Chain A
C-alpha cells in the first residue's frame, strides 16, 4: 500500500516539477526504470505469497537498478550497448510477465 501511495506521489511530483534527465543518465534511466518495475512486481508477488521482506525488497530494488544500469554502461563500453539493453529489457520483461502471472493466479485463483 505504501508503495502504491509513494508511486502516485512520485508521478504527481514528476508531473509538477517536470524534471529533465541529465545527459549522462539518459542511456541508463529507461533500463533502471524497467528494473525497478521488475522489483516492484516481484514485491507484489511476494506480498501475495506472504513472503514479503522489506529488507530484501529494498536491497533487490537498488541492486537490480544498479545492475541494469551497469550492464548498459558495460554494453556501451564494449560497443554492444543497444544489444545488451535489449537483452536486459527482454529478461526483465520475461520476469515481469512471470511475476504478473503469479500475481494473477493469487488474485483470480486461475
Chain B
C-alpha cells in the first residue's frame, strides 16, 4: 500500500512535479542549488565508496541472521569433526609410541639372544681359568663337566681357547687332545667365563667339582677373578632346518 502510494509521488518528486512552474531546462538555476547538488553528489560518491569498501572488508556484515546461524552451525560441526579427528590422531600417536616401545623391547630381546647365541663379542666381570695339561690327560668328559659347572654358576658367555661355547657346544676326544666344536684344542686351555666372579669361582672350586676334575687328570689349574673379561670369539648361527616356531605365541 505504502509503496504503491509512494512510488508515483516520489517519482513525480524526482521528476520535478511542479512542471508548470519549472523552467524547461536546467539552465538559469541559482548557483547555490548547483553547489548543493554538487556537494550532495560528492557525498554520495564518498558514501558509495565507503559502503563498497565496508562490504568487501567484512564478508559477514552483509549476511542475514539465518545465514549467520547456518554458518555458525557449519563451523560448530566442522569444529566437532576436527576435534574427533584430533582425538583419533592422538590415539594413533600414542599407539605408535607404544609401538616404538615394542620395538625397543624387540631390540633388547635381540641383544639378549645375540649374547646367549654367542653371535656378538661380549665383555664383563668374570673369571679366567688357565688349565695346563702337559700330559694330555684331560678328557672331553672333564671339559663338559667344566662347562656344565660354569652354566650352573650362571655364566652368561663362555669361551675356551678362542672357541665360543654356546647351547650347541660339543666336546670330543681327539688324537692330540680335546676337540671343541670341531676345533682341536691344545694345552694350555684358557677358559673365559662372564658372570658373577664370586659365584663362579666358588662353584668351580668345590670339592669334586670341575677344577678338581682337572687336577685329577694331573693338570695344573690357575683361576683368576677379573672385573673385565673379554670374549671376542663368536659363532656363526646356522639357520634351523627342521625346527620352526609355534605360531601361537604373541
Contact = CB atoms under 8 A, between A and B. Distances in A.
Partners in one complex: yes
Interface of A: 2-15, 17-21, 26, 29-30, 32-33, 36-43, 45-47, 49-64, 82, 87, 91, 94-95, 98-99
A98 B11 CA distance: 10
Interface string B13-50: 11111110010111001100110111111111111111
A6 B42 contact: yes
Given A29-B54, A45-B14, A64-B10, A54 B34 contact: yes
Nearest to B17: A56
A58 B33 CA distance: 8
Interface of B: 3, 6-7, 10-11, 13-19, 22, 24-26, 29-30, 33-34, 36-51, 53-55, 61, 64-65
Nearest to A29: B51
A36 B50 CA distance: 14
Contacts of A40: 41, 44
B26 to A, nearest CB: 5
B50 A50 contact: no
Contacts of A53: 16, 18, 22
Contact of B15 (A7, A18, A45, A87): A45
Given A3-B37, A6-B41, A91-B7, A14 B22 contact: no
